[in-house]
Chain A
Amino acid sequence: MPSRTAVGFIAPLLLLMIVVFDAPILYMLALGFWSKQGGFTTEHYGNLLEATVYLKVLASTLRISLIATIANVLIGYPLAYWMRSLSPRAQLVAIALVITPFWVSILVRTYAWIVVLGNGGIVNSALINLGLIDEPVRFLYNELGVTIGMANVLLPFLVLPLFAAMLRIDNRVLQAAASLGAPARTIFWKVFFPLTIPALSAGALLVFILSLGFYVTPAILGGNRVSMVSNLLDKLINEIPRWEQASAISTLLLIVALAIFAAYRHFDRRVQS
């Protein structure tokens, strides 16, 4: 039982959370059922189903998030695996390099990608000078650019928990597998990889759910051509403005995210038991 004193200590925080976090969310949820004339309506949710543009944006948000998550796993897993093999000192350096982007504003990092990936950017001029391509590859203002930018921003969220989980794997367990006759490939797939699945799935889920709410990266690297839910919300709130419709979409996105999380919990419990 929490004591009276403890409640006294956390009361200011509770109050702050309720006023600035919980109340606005409840207000936002309610807004989706608010008609312009006042009173209850489900027309905003009806709009979501009728005007296909909303569902299209939601589908492309899910697709881009999924691709960014897969890209993150494909880059992040080998990176974490390699970091595990380093000496403790080199591991510190590697962690610092992985975390460094956190210290740079997301805006700066995203604009930096324009310099790197633009038609006259480093990557394209290098590829042209090497004679690998004649025309510059269009990295920017499409889904490719958005995916690259998002994968970059989100990588630490996958690599750090994954790396921590890999460090916890007892080397003796791997040595035991070798002494029992298992070739390196079997040790990896039958012993090492299964032991990293909980951290890998948790990290991938985190990356995916964070991806769903991305705004800056698709806004800059996608030009106006790639619309994710957050960019659509920006238009609905700041340009049109239709707050009630924005609320309905936000609620739908929240439900999708919660559904994915519930599916993950179910899967995770089955793995654990």
Chain B
Amino acid sequence: MSGIRLQGVSKHYGALRAADAVDLDVVEGEFLTILGPSGSGKSTLLLLIAGLLAPTDGRIHIGARDVTDAPAQARNIGLVFQSYALFPHMTVFDNVAFPLGVRGVNRGDARHKVTEALRLVRLAGMEQRRPAQLSGGQQQRVALARAIVFSPDILLLDEPLGALDRKLREQLQVELKQLQRTLGITTILVTHDQEEALSLSDRIVVLADGRIQQIASPQEAYLRPANRFVADFLGIANFVPHDGGEGVLRPERVQVRAPDADGRPGRIAEAVYLGQSIRYHVELDGGNAIVGVARFEGTPFHINDRVSVSWASQDVWPVPS
């Protein structure tokens, strides 16, 4: 188990800066998520840490060790790809035993460790199957077992659940979190799915154009975004005037009430039923739009209903525009 430290790490492809002077400290045992839209350089960052790309500039440390110039083979990192990247010609057992084989672990120990790893990802009994005989979720579990079986110092996950359907993804998120907690292994997850990032991580790193926009706990990043990009990328953001500048207001903090209540008058443009709650898109008189989320109780508003919208000014977080 080790922490990870990136110092001024850059990766340039000609004029394109996939990573631009990135400084990052990952604490030992932490679950950190790198979150960003596609093309933000998040996978590049992961491949740099894994040693599958060489940085243009900067140093990378794992634990006390400077691994900047070490090849991927020497970094002792568990890596899981979105495409699983299993060895199609090997059985599940041989896939998971592969990293043990190259480390010269003897057969008896290897068998024991593979069995244990497959039990952890709930695939006991599947040893003799081939990857092609497994579902996507099962293949991803095999990839996970293969990445943890040799007790790596850190675990890197590149959109590991991106190819799975929603229900399975949510289930695997829970399992992934439990597994990480059981092993206590330093983990970096890369994703463009903000819900995944918010639910899994101790801290999230929001990335755009190869630059870190904010490093914070999920709650902090959501409620106190460092800039407009972060506010907009995480959930739904209302941008409202605040102290002569601009502030971000989350929909949960917006109150949508009957038109005789205090507040700004407007009209329901869209009402989206979300189960426990209902989301109103309100067009304020004067042309501005605002989104509010209310608990689903009593009689909900309908499209074109007149409403009154209000919020408390302490719920608005100022962002530099």
Contacts and interface: CB of A to CB of B under 8 A. Distances in A.
Contacts of B52: 175, 178-179
B73 A181 contact: yes
Interface in B204-262: none
B146 interface: yes
B102 A191 contact: no
B85 interface: yes
B163 to A, nearest CB: 12
Interface stretch (B24-32, B86-94, B110-118, B174-182): B86-94
Nearest to B103: A181
Nearest to A194: B89
Interface stretch (B7-15, B75-83, B298-306): B75-83
A186 B83 CA distance: 22
Interface string A170-188: 1011011111111100100
B37 interface: no
A170 B86 CA distance: 10
Nearest to A173: B85
Contacts of A179: 50-52, 72-73, 75, 77-79
Nearest to A182: B102
Contacts of A177: 87, 98
Interface residues of A, number: 17
A76 B98 CA distance: 29
Interface string A182-219: 11001000110011000000000000000000000000
Contacts of B184: none
Given A181-B150, A182-B73, A183-B73, A176 B102 contact: no
Nearest to A273: B130
Contacts of B102: 180-183, 186
Nearest to A197: B89
Contact of B86 (A173, A175, A194): A173
Interface of A: 170, 172-173, 175-183, 186, 190-191, 194-195
21 contacts: A172-B83, A172-B85, A175-B47, A175-B79, A176-B79, A177-B87, A178-B73, A179-B50, A179-B75, A180-B79, A180-B98, A180-B102, A180-B150, A181-B73, A181-B99, A181-B103, A182-B98, A183-B73, A186-B102, A191-B87, A195-B89
Given A178-B71, A182-B73, 10 more contacts: A172-B83, A172-B85, A175-B85, A178-B73, A179-B51, A180-B99, A180-B102, A180-B150, A181-B99, A182-B102
